[in-house]
Chains A and B, each alone.
Chain A
Amino acid sequence: METLSNLWLGLETALTFWNLAYCMVGVLLGTAIGVLPGLGPTATIAMLLPVTFGLPPVSALIMLAGIYYGAQYGGSTTAILVNLPGESSSVVTALDGYQMARQGKAGKALATAAIGSFFAGTVATVLLAVFAPPLADLALQFGPAEYFSLMVLGLVASVVLAHGSLLHAFGMIILGLMLGLIGTDVNSGTTRYTFGFPEIADGINFVVVAMGVFGLGEIIGNLANETTRTVMAKTVKGLMPTREDLKQMAAPVLRGTVLGSMLGILPGGGAMLASFAAYTLEKKVSRHPERFGKGAIEGVAGPESANNAGAQTSFIPMLTLGIPSNPVMALMIGAMIMQGIQPGPSVMTEQPVLFWGLIVSMWIGNLFLLVLNLPLIGLWVRMISVPYHFLYPAILVFCAIGVFSLNNATFDVYLMAMFGFLGYIFRKLDCEPAPMLLGFILGPMMEEHLRRAMLISKGDATVFMSRPISATMLVLALILLASVLAPTVRRKREEAFQEEA
Chain B
Amino acid sequence: MMSHVLQKKDFWAGVLYIAFGVAAFWIGRDYPMGMAGRMGAGYFPTILSVTLMLIGLLSAARAFAQEGEAVGAIAWKPLALVVGSTALFGLLLSTAGLVVALIALVLVSAAASQHFRFEPKAAAGLILLVVFCTLVFVKALGVPMPLVGSWFGE
Q: Does B144 contact A (CB under 8 A)?
A: yes
Please determine whether A188 and B37 come into contact, CB atoms closer than 8 angstroms: no
Please determine whether A188 and B41 come into contact, CB atoms closer than 8 angstroms: yes
- Residues of chain B within 8 A (CB-CB) of A421 are 79, 83
Rounded to whole angstroms, the CA-CA distance of A454 and B93 in the bound complex is 47
Instruction: Output the nearest chain B residue to A185 by Cβ-Cβ distance.
Output: B41
Please determine whether A178 and B38 come into contact, CB atoms closer than 8 angstroms: no
Instruction: Output the nearest chain A residue to B126 by Cβ-Cβ distance.
Output: A393
Q: Does A404 contact B (CB under 8 A)?
A: yes
Rounded to whole angstroms, the CA-CA distance of A185 and B41 in the bound complex is 6
Q: Does B64 contact A (CB under 8 A)?
A: no
Please determine whether B143 and A216 come into contact, CB atoms closer than 8 angstroms: no
Known A-B contacts A220-B75, A429-B12; A413 and B86 likewise in contact (beta carbons under 8 Å): yes
What distance in Å separates the Cβ of A252 from its nearest Cβ neighbour in chain B? 36
Interface of A is mostly: helix
Q: Does A287 contact B (CB under 8 A)?
A: no
- Residues of chain B within 8 A (CB-CB) of A457 are 37
Please determine whether A459 and B93 come into contact, CB atoms closer than 8 angstroms: no
Rounded to whole angstroms, the CA-CA distance of A392 and B72 in the bound complex is 24
Instruction: Output the nearest chain A residue to B88 by Cβ-Cβ distance.
Output: A417
Q: Does A12 contact B (CB under 8 A)?
A: no
Which of A54, A170, A400, A447 touches B89 (beta carbons < 8 Å)? A400
Count of chain B residues with a beta carbon within 8 Å of a chain A beta carbon = 67
Please determine whether B44 and A181 come into contact, CB atoms closer than 8 angstroms: yes
- Most B C-beta atoms less than 10 A away, residue of A390, A399, A408, A461: A390
Please determine whether A223 and B112 come into contact, CB atoms closer than 8 angstroms: yes
Count of chain A residues with a beta carbon within 8 Å of a chain B beta carbon = 62
What distance in Å separates the Cβ of A393 from its nearest Cβ neighbour in chain B? 4
- Residues of chain A within 8 A (CB-CB) of B137 are 401, 405
Please determine whether A410 and B93 come into contact, CB atoms closer than 8 angstroms: yes
* 74-116 of chain B: CB within 8 A of chain A: 74-75, 78-79, 82-87, 89-91, 93-94, 102, 105-106, 109-110, 112-116
What distance in Å separates the Cβ of B90 from its nearest Cβ neighbour in chain A? 4
Please determine whether A451 and B41 come into contact, CB atoms closer than 8 angstroms: no
Please determine whether A404 and B39 come into contact, CB atoms closer than 8 angstroms: no
Q: Does A499 contact B (CB under 8 A)?
A: no
Rounded to whole angstroms, the CA-CA distance of A224 and B79 in the bound complex is 8
- Residues of chain A within 8 A (CB-CB) of B145 are 401, 404
Please determine whether A417 and B129 come into contact, CB atoms closer than 8 angstroms: no
Known A-B contacts A400-B86, A429-B71, A454-B36; A171 and B13 likewise in contact (beta carbons under 8 Å): yes
Please determine whether A450 and B44 come into contact, CB atoms closer than 8 angstroms: yes
Please determine whether B82 and A216 come into contact, CB atoms closer than 8 angstroms: yes
* 39-65 of chain B: CB within 8 A of chain A: 39-41, 43-45, 48-49, 51-52, 55-56, 58-59, 62
Please determine whether B37 and A458 come into contact, CB atoms closer than 8 angstroms: yes
Instruction: Output the nearest chain A residue to B86 by Cβ-Cβ distance.
Output: A417
Q: Does A239 contact B (CB under 8 A)?
A: no
What distance in Å separates the Cβ of A76 from its nearest Cβ neighbour in chain B? 26
Q: Does B6 contact A (CB under 8 A)?
A: no
Rounded to whole angstroms, the CA-CA distance of A401 and B79 in the bound complex is 20
Which of B71, B94, B105, B112 touches A410 (beta carbons < 8 Å)? B94
Which residues does B use to contact A, with CB under 8 Å?
Answer: 9, 12-13, 16-17, 20, 24, 27-28, 31-32, 35-41, 43-45, 48-49, 51-52, 55-56, 58-59, 62, 69, 71-72, 74-75, 78-79, 82-87, 89-91, 93-94, 102, 105-106, 109-110, 112-116, 122, 125, 129, 133, 137, 141, 143-145
Closest 7 CB pairs of A and B: A459-B37, A224-B75, A413-B90, A223-B78, A389-B113, A190-B41, A459-B36
Apart from A396-B109, A417-B84, A418-B83, 7 more pairs, CB < 8 Å = A219-B78, A226-B113, A389-B110, A390-B122, A390-B125, A428-B9, A447-B44
Which residues does A use to contact B, with CB under 8 Å?
Answer: 54, 167-168, 170-171, 174-175, 177-178, 181, 185, 187-188, 190, 192-193, 216, 219-220, 223-224, 226, 387-390, 392-394, 396-397, 399-401, 404-405, 408, 410-411, 413-414, 416-418, 420-421, 424-425, 428-431, 447, 450-451, 454-455, 457-461
- 29 sampled A-B residue pairs with Cβ under 8 A: A174-B52, A175-B17, A185-B41, A193-B45, A219-B78, A223-B75, A224-B75, A226-B113, A226-B114, A389-B110, A389-B113, A389-B116, A393-B109, A393-B110, A396-B82, A400-B90, A410-B91, A414-B87, A416-B86, A421-B79, A421-B83, A425-B16, A429-B71, A431-B13, A431-B16, A450-B39, A450-B44, A455-B38, A457-B37
